[in-house]
Amino acid sequence: MTLFAPEELKAVLGSGLLSFPVTHARDDLSFDEDAYRDHVSRQAAAGPSGVFAAGGTGEFFALTPEEVDRVVRAAVASVPGDTPVIAPAGYGTAQAVAMARAAEAAGAHGVFLLPPYLTEAPQEGLIAHVRAVCAATDLGVVVYHRANAAFGFDAVQELADECPNFVGFKDGIGDVDLMTRIHARFGDRLLSIGGLPTAETYALPYLEMGVTTYSSAIFNFLPDFALDFYAAVRARDAAAVYRKLNDFVLPYLDIRNRRAGYAVSIVKAGLAVTGLHDRHRV
């Protein structure tokens, strides 16, 4: 399988739409590896620029570390060599470091660092957390700016200066000021990724802040629609983007917002509607 140096990974991920596949489960909620492999193979065949295994849509929060490793290895085995697989890391620093090392051993091409579990941390604590994970692996690291991992500009700058393999910053907060500053200051040094729930909603205005790609949960069950939407965004075809928002994305949001937890459930419902039924753990 092709290996991606951090700089190569950054360039590849920024060139297209990102797939965040769900993690398939059996009736007893154990990992259904065969169904997952089939799904990831279909996702990869549709042409995303990267596959993020066991991410937020993949229910990282509901999997044991051993299951995460199985999911990552299954994803690596299911995609062609020119499609990078990004593995998750999270929880406390020691666990995140262990997961980053496991990702590298599993053949993943990058690490997606999710927020630490529960405890808020000052900026120096977040810096130390990311620094430790970056030091533990040669893989490129994408940091998720969300919840209790809310980074200020100075923290991002310090990490970018100190950690060469810190290559991506995914915004899950909607901090326009921060994303504008990052793009103005760093340019191509960091890949900015749209990571708000149902990122299609914000994709067009975010493009002006240098956010050339985003995570698409919709890609799980409507890959052609998701790719067409992304192409319209990159072409700055506002009429097409807003037509697609009104035709599908905004009604989809109305359902998603009915109840806490539906952000993942609605994706799995989409799989059921399209004939690829699945279950989730929460």
Annotated active-site positions, please? 144, 170
C-alpha dihedral over 241, 53, 110, 88, to 10 degrees? 110
Phi-psi region of 63 (alpha: psi -120 to 50; beta: other; left: phi over 0): beta
Structure tokens at 71: 């999911």
Q: Flag whether 23 is marked binding.
A: no
Do the Cβ atoms of 183 and 192 come closer than 8 Å? yes
Structure tokens at 220: 């799980």
**Binding annotation:** 57
**Binding annotation for pyruvate:** 57
